[in-house]
């Protein structure tokens, strides 16, 4: 019987040799990158966004790289003597001398940086797997999954280094072409009503806000007038729903289409253009809490990548509370949601709408101002459009217009922007 050579001790020995070889390659890449940056300081900006000090397998290498970045931020060349003064530890000084002795060129700096980043990410993934394996018998599986997801998102967030140094003034001076192309407002989707920016839709539960938005989405897809306003740029709408199941929303849309008495081509166009992504019961969020900090997840960027070549007119998150990290840090949480929405707007040039519930006191007072939503003020302050709906009370004279008691929607002025009040 022939024994397989890759089994048992032979396989373990082969893996050890392979891992040792990989470690040696990464160590050489780290040394080559650092020594190259020491003789060609102008190469630092090329790699600063590709790799971080935490990605280096050798702690000393990581500290030298951190010092090089700090000096670069101050426009100081990372020459050996300068680095030695920045790093007082004798071992680091000896390392710098050794690195400079091997210095050749920074021509391959970008390649080395990517190699080091990849190795650092794999190293942290292995460490995460080991930690989870140690806890698999002492924790609930759902808790382990949630922790793994949180740490994976944190690992993704520890991506490219954020460049904090402002660019030179000359770079920020606008050209004549940029000045001529600048616009006063974002791309208009519905005249004087909906733009490619962040919006909040605020209403008490049971007001019909989701059904209203379904009607608007159908109308925008058809290019028909909405509330008497012209559709400037028809398009499709993505509903990311964490509250109403897909089948319920489809049923509502079906009834709306039937009530509009559309032709078969129009009907098909609506169902092709009003799209539902049902994430009810999942833990998918735009922001989450990691070690006390509100951190963006990859959802906003993933949406941008997924629909970059087929951009929607509107992306709606319903309800907002299901996509945030925690209401304990109210304004931090809301600002993180606004930032996520702006990332989507920037990538897709679409309107991002958050469907939000109204505060108890504001619901009783039937307020219509931008701060009617539950929670803090960051959401309202960061939104560029606010839509507040209140249920119509036939006994309340404030909710009547021109003595007309027929159920209807009224579009009226709210400061300098239109405001939609629901009557009926």
DSSP string, 290-309: ETTEEEE-SHHHHHHHHTTT
pLDDT band (50, 70, 90) for residue 354? very high
pLDDT digits (tens, 9 = 90+) for 296-311: 888 998 999 899 999 9
Residue 39 has pLDDT above 50, yes or no: yes
Residue with tokens 């809301």: 334
Q: 383 Cβ partners below 8 Å, 6+ apart?
A: 198, 199, 200, 338, 354, 370
Worst-scoring range by mean pLDDT, 67-76, 129-138, 350-359, 410-419? 410-419
CA 152 to chain centre: 15
Which pLDDT belongs to residue 373? 85
pLDDT digits (tens, 9 = 90+) for 214-255: 999 999 999 999 999 999 999 999 999 999 999 999 999 999
Q: 2 Cβ partners below 8 Å, 6+ apart?
A: none
């Amino acid at each position: 019987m022939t024994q397989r050579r890759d089994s048992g001790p032979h396989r373990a020995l082969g893996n050890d040799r392979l891992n040792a070889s990989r470690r040696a390659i990464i160590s050489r890449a780290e040394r080559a990158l650092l020594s190259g940056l020491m003789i060609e300081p102008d190469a630092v900006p090329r790699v600063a966004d590709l790799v971080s000090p935490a990605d280096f397998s050798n702690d000393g290498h990581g500290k030298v790289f951190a010092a090089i970045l700090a000096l670069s931020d101050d426009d100081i060349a990372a020459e050996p003597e300068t680095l030695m003064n920045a790093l007082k530890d004798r071992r680091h000084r000896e390392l710098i001398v050794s690195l400079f002795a091997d210095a050749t060129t920074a021509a391959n700096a970008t390649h080395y940086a990517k190699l080091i980043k990849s190795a650092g990410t794999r190293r942290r993934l292995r460490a995460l797997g080991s930690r989870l394996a140690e806890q698999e018998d002492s924790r609930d599986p759902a808790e382990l999954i949630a922790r793994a997801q949180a740490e994976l998102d944190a690992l993704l967030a520890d991506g490219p280094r954020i460049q904090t140094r402002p660019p030179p003034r000359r770079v920020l001076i606008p050209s004549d072409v940029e000045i001529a192309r600048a616009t006063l407002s974002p791309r208009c989707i519905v005249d004087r009503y909906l733009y490619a920016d962040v919006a909040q839709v605020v209403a008490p539960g049971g007001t019909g806000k989701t059904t209203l938005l379904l009607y608007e989405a159908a109308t925008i897809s058809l290019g028909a007038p909405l509330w008497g306003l012209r559709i400037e740029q028809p398009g499709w709408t993505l509903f990311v729903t964490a509250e109403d199941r897909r089948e319920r929303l489809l049923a509502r849309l079906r009834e709306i289409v039937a009530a509009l008495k559309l032709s078969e081509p129009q009907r098909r166009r609506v169902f092709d253009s009003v799209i539902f992504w049902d994430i009810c019961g999942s833990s998918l969020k735009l922001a989450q809490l990691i070690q006390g900090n509100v951190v963006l997840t990859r959802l906003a960027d993933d949406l941008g990548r997924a629909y970059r070549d087929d951009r929607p007119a509107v992306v709606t998150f319903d309800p907002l509370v299901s996509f945030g990290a925690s209401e304990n840090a109210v304004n931090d949480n809301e600002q993180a949601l606004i930032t996520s929405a702006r990332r989507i707007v920037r990538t897709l040039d679409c309107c991002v709408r958050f469907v939000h519930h109204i505060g108890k006191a504001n619901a009783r007072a039937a307020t219509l101002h931008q701060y009617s939503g539950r929670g803090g003020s960051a959401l309202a302050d960061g939104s560029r459009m606010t839509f507040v709906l209140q249920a119509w009370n036939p006994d309340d004279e404030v909710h009547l217009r021109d003595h007309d008691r027929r159920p209807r929607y009224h579009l009226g002025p709210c400061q300098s922007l239109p405001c939609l009040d629901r009557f009926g």
